[in-house]
Amino acid sequence: MSRILLSGMLLLACSFSVLANDLKPGLWEVTSSMEGEGIPKQLKREKNSQECLTAEEGDDMVATMRKRWNEIGCQDMDISRDGDNIKVAASCEAGGRTTQVDALITVHSNEHYSSEVTTTNDSSVTTYREATWVSSECEQ
């Protein structure tokens, strides 16, 4: 179960900060789902949430992502960008375990992105996200 929590933390850490320079600040609608061995059914279901992206998060997307991932135990990471695709490979320590993380984030437009994040230790869990911009105003 700790690998599922780590997957969720990594997903949150990289979701907006990776794409900030490419995306409009404001309110985003995010649809996410997970696949992998041993994941409870309730985590596999598609879930919708709303998230807020600030303009400040977009100053330096790689620096912001590195900072957030370092805060959750990911010290060794490789980030590369090819056009609209951002690839991340990281090794993360949590709970005395090392987890390998591989992510692909695709910026479709400044109002739409998708991501696929796979975390691997004893088994693999893949989290998928599809996000669309809703409004320039975030609800607090």
pLDDT tens digit at each of 140 positions of the chain: 454 444 454 544 554 444 445 788 889 999 999 998 878 777 777 899 998 887 776 545 566 667 777 888 887 788 888 888 888 899 888 788 888 999 998 889 889 989 999 999 888 999 999 999 999 888 75
- What gap in Å lies between CA 80 and CA 86, rounded to an integer? 6
Q: Tell me, yes or no, whether 140 lies in a domain.
A: no
Q: Tell me, yes or no, whether 65 lies in a domain.
A: yes
Q: Tell me, yes or no, whether 59 lies in a domain.
A: yes
Q: Which domain holds residue 28?
A: 2-135
pTM reported for the whole predicted model: 0.77
- What gap in Å lies between CA 124 and CA 67, rounded to an integer? 24
User: What's the count of helices (H) and strands (E) in the chain, helices before strands?
Assistant: 3, 7
pLDDT of 62:
62
pLDDT of 47:
92
Domain count, the chain: 1
Q: Tell me, yes or no, whether 23 lies in a domain.
A: yes
CA angle 134, 139, 140 (to 5 degrees): 150
Whether 134 contacts 26, CB under 8 Å: yes
pLDDT of 107:
85
